[in-house]
A and B are shown apart, each in its own frame.
Chain A
Amino acid sequence: MNVARGTTMAIETRGLAKRFGSTWALQDCTVCVPRGRISALVGPNGAGKTTLLRLLVGLREPSAGQALVLGRQPRQSEEFLASVGYLAQEAPLYKRLTADEHLDLGAYLNLRWDKVVATDRLRALQIPLEPVGTLSGGQRSQVALGLALAKRPDVLLLDEPVAALDPLARRAFLSSLAEAVAGGELTVVLSSHLLHDLERVCDHVILLAASRAQLCDDIEVVLESHKCLVGRRRNAADTGAAFNVVKAVHSERQSRLLVHTKAPVTDPTWEVSDVGLEDVVLAYMGDDGSVTAGPLSLVGGEQ
């Protein structure tokens, strides 16, 4: 493996797969996230987002393929565990302990622990000094995020951190995260089945659907390389030959395509327009959540 690349990529997986019994939760997943990115891991429910994150933090063993986090395979070593922060779905905490007691526990369990900053954050958020079992979902998530950040990890993996929160708490959580990440070298991957939540804070996107990675790139690049074409009705074979079609809608008189293209579209019979990230993601997922037969050429490593 190329050493220089290993140091620029915070996360890199090759052919990563995980099977539970006879069903594949994740298949042939090849993605990479450069250092310093905040990556949105999106996909419909059951697409394998949680499985991917748990493989990356070493809570699960891959059935095939390889995962590298900061150039190392996830494993049970104090060095590896210290470099990766993970916030599981529903932010598990010890219900009978207070937020401050959790910070104490973190200090016992980690060599690197930023207790002062974490305590200040909790005070600023006015988290009550009660057992966390009595706190609201938003407050619990903030406590759990505080724990994950106090570790000062190089890579932070957040699994559906805002799924259970109301819109206000969601916004508060994401701005806490953005604040904590600002200016640092921290790489973040946060998953959600709603892209909308993440678009504001993320600059990178990984799309999982049907247990495979459909898209993995900087959001900027994704937006530049996808175009919406509208023109007179053509048949699918022709458009398929001319473009890398992600999604096509043919009505009686016109065809509407979402294509992946790096070169500008010169054919004047097409009306070309830019697309939003949500359009692209939905196109790859299919509007009904199922995956359309799209190109996998965008997926990881091809840069």
Chain B
Amino acid sequence: MNQLIWRLHRQQLLFAGAALVVLGVVLVVTGTTMAAHYHSALKLCAASRTCAELPDELFQGDGFIIDLVSVTIIVPLLFGLFWGAPLVAKELEEGTQDLVWVQGVTRRRWMTSNVGWVLVAAVLWGAAMSALVTWWRGPEDVLRGGRFAVSFDITGLAPVAYAVFAVALGIAAGTLLKRVLPALATTLAGFAIVRGSVGLWLRPRYLGPIRASLPLVNDGSGAPPGAWVLSRVVASPAGHIYDPYSPAGIPAACHAAFFDNSALSCLAAHGFRRLVTYQPASRYWAFQGIEAGIFVALAAGLVAISYLAVLRRDA
């Protein structure tokens, strides 16, 4: 069975391997340079006590690579489209299931080997990619604390779970729809919908966010560094939310300051506070674990459906 899978899918594997190597080389080369800059810059700024200004200078000129790294967010979907969806659908579409399902290998074993290998590949490729990106983004995520808020989807465990889910979704779509093209469309739409709704709606609710009422200071969110800020507003002492585009509802004394930089300090002097809702940085791994758990569970369900469909199929 394993030789069959290797023979039929080695091109895909080699292609994916080559893409991973290219990404790896680009990231290792630029990442090593960046890390060197980062460390020497840290030494300098520590001496001159200007470390707060570092990030903006440090990553200038890396625009393309930052984009490249951000684009890895779609790679799990590509696994689903190129590895998952055709896995069963291509056999059914070309009729080769009539060849392979009557050889001396049961359908269960055929399915186990195929699904097993493609999931292993998804985990390996997903993990390698995530490790590269996590390492590459390390200095920036440390400096800007963006690991939770910005790069949650492309670092840590999440990309591996997304890859597993995308492949499982592709397999299930291909098995049920029996045609590659509809399976591709379904995988694309399904992945976008599930990822989107989990990321936007479910993820902020994994654990109850922390609500803090903080003094108004001129800069920053006020939340602890590295936190994932869900909302951030200015409120009057009575609890009314202040609308930054209209001077209504703010003390008359601050009207004059509304158009210059002293507005905040004026409001602060009148008892205005900043209300921040956030997930603290310390929950990053808990959130990664929950996110990964959700997607792996969904993948398990999809794989089970595919199994039932193949084993019970009246081919």
Contacts and interface: CB of A to CB of B under 8 A. Distances in A.
Interface in A77-104: 77-78, 81-82, 84-86, 88, 90, 92-95, 97, 101, 104
A92 B94 contact: yes
B117 to A, nearest CB: 14
B7 A78 contact: no
Interface stretch (B96-104, B142-150, B169-177, B237-245): B96-104
Interface in B73-126: 94-108
B96 A109 contact: no
B12 to A, nearest CB: 12
Nearest to A110: B104
Contacts of A147: 99
Interface in A49-102: 54, 57-61, 76-78, 81-82, 84-86, 88, 90, 92-95, 97, 101
A59 B96 CA distance: 13
Given A76-B108, A112-B104, A151-B104, A88 B98 contact: yes
Nearest to A133: B94
B106 A109 contact: no
B1 interface: yes
Contacts of A144: 99
A208 to B, nearest CB: 19
B3 A108 contact: yes
A295 interface: no
A164 interface: no
B47 interface: no
A281 to B, nearest CB: 27
Contact of B95 (A90, A101, A109): A90
B6 to A, nearest CB: 10
Given A76-B108, A101-B7, A104-B3, A110 B314 contact: no
Contacts of B94: 92, 94-95
Contacts of A78: 104-106
A111 B95 contact: no
A86 B98 contact: yes
Contacts of B22: none
Nearest to A75: B106
B71 interface: no
Contacts of B99: 88, 92-94, 144, 147
A77 B106 contact: yes
B252 interface: no
Contact of A81 (B4, B106, B315): B106
B101 A108 contact: no
Most B-side CB within 10 Å, residue of A78, A101, A144: A78
B282 to A, nearest CB: 51
Interface in B1-28: 1-4, 7-8
A105 interface: yes
B104 A59 contact: no
A106 interface: yes
Contacts of B96: 92-94
A81 B104 contact: yes
Contacts of A112: 104
A202 to B, nearest CB: 22
A105 B104 contact: no
B314 A61 contact: yes
A104 B103 contact: no
A299 B154 CA distance: 67
Contacts of A88: 95, 98-99, 102
B107 A76 contact: yes
Contacts of A110: 103-105
Contacts of B2: 108
B105 A81 contact: yes
A108 B4 contact: yes
Contacts of B101: 59
A112 B315 CA distance: 24
B175 to A, nearest CB: 16
A65 B7 CA distance: 40
A59 B102 contact: yes
Contacts of B4: 105, 108-109
A81 B102 contact: yes
Contacts of A86: 98, 102
B104 A54 contact: no
B192 to A, nearest CB: 31
A114 B74 CA distance: 46
Most B-side CB within 10 Å, residue of A84, A88, A111: A88
A88 B92 CA distance: 13
22 contacts: A57-B102, A59-B102, A59-B314, A76-B107, A77-B106, A78-B106, A84-B102, A85-B102, A86-B102, A92-B95, A92-B97, A93-B96, A93-B99, A95-B94, A101-B7, A105-B4, A108-B2, A108-B4, A109-B104, A109-B105, A144-B99, A151-B103
Given A58-B102, A144-B99, 11 more contacts: A57-B102, A78-B104, A81-B106, A88-B99, A90-B95, A92-B96, A94-B8, A94-B99, A97-B7, A109-B4, A109-B100
The 10 closest A-B pairs by CB, nearest first: A88-B98, A92-B95, A109-B103, A110-B104, A86-B102, A108-B3, A82-B104, A59-B315, A76-B106, A109-B105
Interface of A: 54, 57-61, 76-78, 81-82, 84-86, 88, 90, 92-95, 97, 101, 104-106, 108-112, 144, 147, 151
